[in-house]
Amino acid sequence: MNSTMKTIITKTTAILLFAVLLSLSCIMPSAVSEDDLMRHYNATAEKLLSDPVPQVGSMGGEWEIIGLARSGRLSAEAAEAYYQNVAGFVADKNSAVLNKRKSTDNSRVILALSAINRDARDVSGFDLLSPLSDFDYVKRQGINGVIWALIALDSKNYPVASGSDPSIRERLVEHILSAQLPDGGWTGSGDISDPDITAMALQALAPYCRYDNSVQAAVDKAVELLSSLVLSDNAHLFTPETDAQIITALASLGIDPTRDERFCKNGSDLTDYIMQYAVDGGFEHEKNGGFNQMSTEQAFYSLTAYYRLLNGNTTLYDMTDTGMISGFMYDFNRDGIEDINDVTTLQAVLAEYEELPAFEKRIADKNKNGVIDITDAAALQYRLAFEKD
């Protein structure tokens, strides 16, 4: 090879290397310190707290309430004002069905009410849970309706409404599992996995992993898919809403999105990616797009899910920590009453644990350690004797 050719190759290589480095400098986020993340999280909370009292709606409504309530920042006065807005909305509808086409309206409001410890079964005389026991109504909205119905029902271990399908949870779980695509993901339509829908499906299935092997297998496959998407060169192309859903899903599964190597690349993690969209008081939807309410609400509640994981709290949507509404948290036999019969029923089925459906396993596992044994019965008996309001 002559010297001229060597010079050309060297220059070409240098140009290509420079182009690669330049492109990487544009797409690779710099790691955000934990202090900076917390600082922006707090600033976002202050902005949301300064908003008018949330109304019923997908923006400036329930997601804002959920994020603020689950972060421990929502005042009792603000919670009551929101509840009154919901009560008025339901009264005007004069129906437990808030939207004839979208069951997610019911699910979203139920989650917000659960977050502020209000009973979604009695709002202006209507049981907002009852429509979610109608499988045909829920699936009318597709997989999205099914996912959020399950999340809402499980948020407080709500009992199935009297006269409704007692197997609704099992049907919802089975429907989600049956809709999983070959690559491990889910989609709202078509046959290409959507990372947002996949992350939402994981949020719904997370409580069942340790109690159902088929759910665990489906979740493992979906996590690997999301990992491959995050670690691809297109990770920076995710919107903050997508990052938010993945962060929430991982936190729901007990996975730290900043520590798990499946979701970290070149020293950056999902919180670094989402912080690329940080603006004063919140987040933008796209670069240089300015403050966006939807992006801000989703990013905030995802960071709330993350910090709840770090602090050892229940997950974002496991709202059993907000207090007892009435006797159903440990209503193992699902008769609408929490009493000694639940203890004896639990003791009777310990030997038949493997035959229980996943939902009943969750209720039976009172101390949430993944094992059903006599200590759960003893703990429940102690609560009945000494802890009831």
The tens place of each residue's pLDDT in the chain, 389 residues long, gives 544 444 434 444 443 443 433 333 334 445 788 999 999 999 999 999 999 999 999 999 999 999 999 999 999 999 999 999 999 999 999 999 999 999 999 999 999 999 999 999 999 999 999 999 999 999 999 999 999 999 999 999 888 877 788 889 999 999 999 999 999 999 999 999 999 999 999 999 999 998 899 999 999 999 999 999 988 755 556 899 999 999 999 999 999 999 999 998 888 899 999 999 999 999 999 988 999 999 999 999 999 999 999 999 999 999 988 875 554 556 777 666 777 888 877 776 665 566 677 777 788 787 777 777 777 777 777 777 765 54
Residues 298 and 211 in one domain: yes
Q: At what angle do helices 195-205 and 213-230 cross, to 10 degrees?
A: 150
Token look-up 């409504």 returns: 61
- Residue 11 in any domain: the answer is no
| Whole-angstrom distance, CA of residue 306 vs CA of residue 251 | 6
Q: Which residues contact 378 (CB under 8 A, 6 or more apart)?
A: none
Instruction: Give the total number of structural domains in the chain.
Output: 2
Q: Which of 322, 351, 377 is the last residue of a domain?
A: 322
Residues 72 and 221 in one domain: yes
Task: Give the per-residue pLDDT at 325.
Answer: 57
- Residue 1 in any domain: the answer is no
Answer whether 185's CB lies under 8 Å from 194's CB. yes
- Residue 25 in any domain: the answer is no
| Whole-angstrom distance, CA of residue 216 vs CA of residue 207 | 10
- Residue 332 in any domain: the answer is no
Q: What is the DSSP letter of 264?
A: -
- Residue 89 in any domain: the answer is yes
Check which CATH number belongs to the domain holding 117 and give it: 1.50.10.20
Task: Give the per-residue pLDDT at 334.
Answer: 64
- Residue 103 in any domain: the answer is yes
Q: Residue 177 sits in which domain range?
A: 34-322
Percentage helix, strand, coil for the chain under 3-state DSSP, each rounded to 5: 60, 5, 40
- Residue 51 in any domain: the answer is yes
- Residue 264 in any domain: the answer is yes
Task: Give the per-residue pLDDT at 253.
Answer: 98
Residues 236 and 149 in one domain: yes
H or E segment at 156? none
Residues 353 and 206 in one domain: no
Q: Which of 358, 357, 360 is nearest to 376 (CA)?
A: 360
The structure's pTM equals 0.80
